[in-house]
Amino acid sequence: MSIISLIKKTEAVSVSQDLGQDADRVDEKPKMTINNPPRNKYRVAALCVYVFSCGYTDAAPGALLPFIEKYYNINYTLVSLVWMSNAVGFLIVAALASKIQPLLGKQYSFMFGIFLSAIHFSIVSAGSHFALTVAAFAFGGAGLAMCLAQTNVFLANLEKLTLYLSYTHGAYGLGATISPLLGTLIASHGIPWHFVYLINLGQMVISFVLVGLAFQGSEKDLKQFEADSMEDEVSDRSPSSKSTMREAVTNRITWIFAFLILFYQGSEVSISGWCVTYLIDYKGGDINSIGYVALAFWAGLTFGRLFLTHPSAKYFGVRRSLLVMCFITIVVVVLAWALPTTIAASTFVALAGIWIGPLYSYVVGTSVKPGMLPRKIQYTSLTIITAFGSAGGAIFPFIIGLLSEPAGSFVVFPVFLVLYSSIFVLWAALPNIERNTGGKPMTLWQRLW
């Protein structure tokens, strides 16, 4: 009898363990992949098309800046207002981060954001009064920030996040590479600069259709993969509960990532936007051909995003790769500033693009890893981070414009170096989640490297 009882007890324990494992499997959230749900492959493709148009948009002002100044007969300070207006739109979206998607849903959030960008390009392409053109950039800023935030939130839930971020942001770099080429080609042949924005408008029409169709039904088939906060934000309204927005804005990691992206996009857009003016002012560059330097920069950035992002993260780790790339970028930009000839300066600006490229994907990808942003606040935090990045791409070119009027356009280089040094410091301040010390306290070197 004792042996039979022992056998029964053993079977009972085995059954209970099996049931417990099954329960764990039921509770465990399924992983979202490029094929699960099946429409995801179309969503990633549609987002690549949209992000391509974002890159095309961001790179356009840099190559067209001399033509805009001439068309309106304005100085550096006034022309920089287009970037500041952009920043206003970005920051409005950041303030409304926790309300947009619950109110509109994924599909209509994308479509509304793209519609705002279409309004922007419709006004600018008409070559209207400068004040109206400046106001139009606020619509574009809001639309861009809204859609890029949704893009990052969607990609953040995918397996192989770094890979798909490199694809989408590689598409951004490709659009930014083509934009200065076409912009310079069109404007240098006597065609008014504002007609270039008709191309942007056409891209937004295509993106509106593709993204709208791809995200049809996304509220249902993506619900099981979303962060818990997406449901909490809509359903949890008790007075004692802490809002998701409040949790996000009081989280230290949210702000480290927000300022990382702010400085990153600020430095990226500043050097691509003002290097052409600098080369004309200080290196004797030709206005009709020097715009191709911006093309070389964005081509380098695209190469870095497509061919360095994933391999570097795989073999060296994201943390180390970013620190090394920051250091190399600073050295290359110093050389671009110091060397006397146009060809040498242009070459090193292009090389800087290669090492600048992967950083955006690294920062966004790291922010959603365990040990960084809590899952509950990832949606709201990513929206804030993305909007801050877009604002950085507007605020710092504006600041450089203000400084360039009395001091000269060379200020793009010291501003860039300050921003990139700040990126290095902020990245080093983040927890080193790639280092496993077996529960032992980390040394200072282990925290950094």
Tens digit of each residue's pLDDT, the chain (449 residues): 444 443 344 344 333 444 344 433 334 556 788 888 889 999 999 999 999 999 888 777 766 877 888 888 888 778 878 878 888 888 887 777 667 777 888 899 999 999 999 999 999 999 889 999 999 999 998 898 888 888 888 887 888 887 888 888 889 888 888 887 888 788 878 888 889 899 999 999 999 999 999 999 888 888 877 654 444 444 444 443 357 778 888 999 999 999 999 999 999 888 987 888 888 888 777 766 676 787 788 889 889 988 998 889 888 999 999 999 999 999 999 999 988 888 888 889 989 999 998 998 899 889 988 889 888 888 788 888 888 887 888 789 888 888 888 888 899 999 999 999 999 999 998 988 888 766 677 777 777 77
pLDDT at 314: 85
pLDDT in tens, 67-103: 888 888 888 778 878 878 888 888 887 777 667 777 8
pLDDT at 401: 83
Q: 4 by DSSP, 3-state: which?
A: helix
Q: Which residues of 152-184 are buried (b: 16+ CB within 10 A; e: fewer)?
A: bbbbbbbeebbbbbbbbbbbbbbbbbbbbbebb
**DSSP summary character for residue 241:** S
Strand partners, 158: 32
Cα atoms in the 13 Å half-sphere on the side-chain side of 440? 8
Please tell me the distance from the alpha carbon of residue 264 to that of residue 420, in angstroms, as a whole number.
Answer: 7
Q: 75 by DSSP, 3-state: which?
A: coil
**Taking Cα atoms as reference points, which of 382, 370, 91, 110 lies closest to residue 230?**
382
Please tell me the distance from the alpha carbon of residue 244 to that of residue 232, in angstroms, as a whole number.
Answer: 8
Please tell me the distance from the alpha carbon of residue 206 to that of residue 203, in angstroms, as a whole number.
Answer: 5
Cα atoms in the 13 Å half-sphere on the side-chain side of 68? 28
Please tell me the distance from the alpha carbon of residue 352 to that of residue 332, in angstroms, as a whole number.
Answer: 6
pLDDT at 423: 95
User: Structural domain boundaries of the chain?
Assistant: 40-231+244-448
Q: Which amino acid is at 13?
A: V
pLDDT at 29: 59
pLDDT at 12: 43
pLDDT at 237: 42
pLDDT at 25: 39
Cα atoms in the 13 Å half-sphere on the side-chain side of 349? 32
pLDDT at 421: 94
Torsion of CA 156, 157, 159, 165, to 10 degrees: -20
| Strand segments (E) across 132-272 | none
pLDDT at 438: 67
Please tell me the distance from the alpha carbon of residue 157 to that of residue 166, in angstroms, as a whole number.
Answer: 15
pLDDT at 2: 45
40-231+244-448 fold: Growth Hormone; Chain: A; (1.20.1250)
Q: What are phi and psi of 371, to 5 degrees?
A: 100, -10
386 within 8 A of 404, measured Cβ to Cβ: no
- For residue 209, give every residue at least 6 positions away whose Cβ sits within 8 Å of its Cβ, in sequence order, or none: none
**DSSP summary character for residue 32:** B
Please tell me the distance from the alpha carbon of residue 140 to that of residue 120, in angstroms, as a whole number.
Answer: 5
Please tell me the distance from the alpha carbon of residue 345 to that of residue 190, in angstroms, as a whole number.
Answer: 28
Please tell me the distance from the alpha carbon of residue 199 to that of residue 111, in angstroms, as a whole number.
Answer: 19
Burial (CB < 10 A; 0-12, 13-18, 19+), residue 362, is: buried
Helical residues (DSSP H) of 28-80, grouped into ranges: 40-72, 76-79
Residue 182, both tokens? 């076409």
Please tell me the distance from the alpha carbon of residue 389 to that of residue 383, in angstroms, as a whole number.
Answer: 10
